[in-house]
Amino acid sequence: MKLNKKEVAQNLRLFGYKRFGTMKKFAEALDMNPSTLYSGYLNGRSLPGPVLLVKLIDLGCNINWLLTSRETPFINNINDASKKNEEEGVLLRTPLPRSTVTSNVFINSKKASGSFAELRR
């Protein structure tokens, strides 16, 4: 799927006006110079990169909507999104469980079994 820069620019402008009222306030919220916002992103010359996308998410923008015009412009609630993903069978990444074995215990057990002996050569 190819992204339409003009459509993304239009969605970005719509989000900025709905959320902040003016593009100047929107640019300030993004820690960006208003002229940079206008010349690059709102004119459709550039697509938002990862850093800008993360800032937009933090401001409540639904990135799916921003890039594809699907769904709604605003993230209502992160818990709602998680519930929707669970209902749709989407598996979310969870952190790996921490091992209860300390690293010294592991290293000492390997020394005793001779597993590190080959590495000493």
Task: Name the burial class of residue 49, with classes exposed (0-12), middle (13-18) and buried (19+) by CB atoms within 10 angstroms of its CB.
Answer: exposed
pLDDT range class, residue 92, cuts 50, 70, 90: very low
Span 21-68, pLDDT tens digits: 999 999 999 999 999 999 999 999 999 999 999 999 999 999 999 999
- CATH 1.10.260.40 describes domain 5-77: yes
Q: Which helix (H) or strand (E) holds 73?
A: none
- CA–CA gap between residue 68 and residue 83 (Å, rounded): 22
pLDDT range class, residue 20, cuts 50, 70, 90: very high
pLDDT surpasses 90 at 87: no
- Kindly list the domain boundaries of the chain, sorted by start residue: 5-77
Decide: helix, strand or coil at residue 39.
helix
pLDDT surpasses 70 at 100: no
Average pLDDT, stretch 14-21?
95
Alpha-helix residue ranges (DSSP H) falling in the chain:
5-20, 23-29, 34-36, 50-58, 63-68, 78-87, 103-113
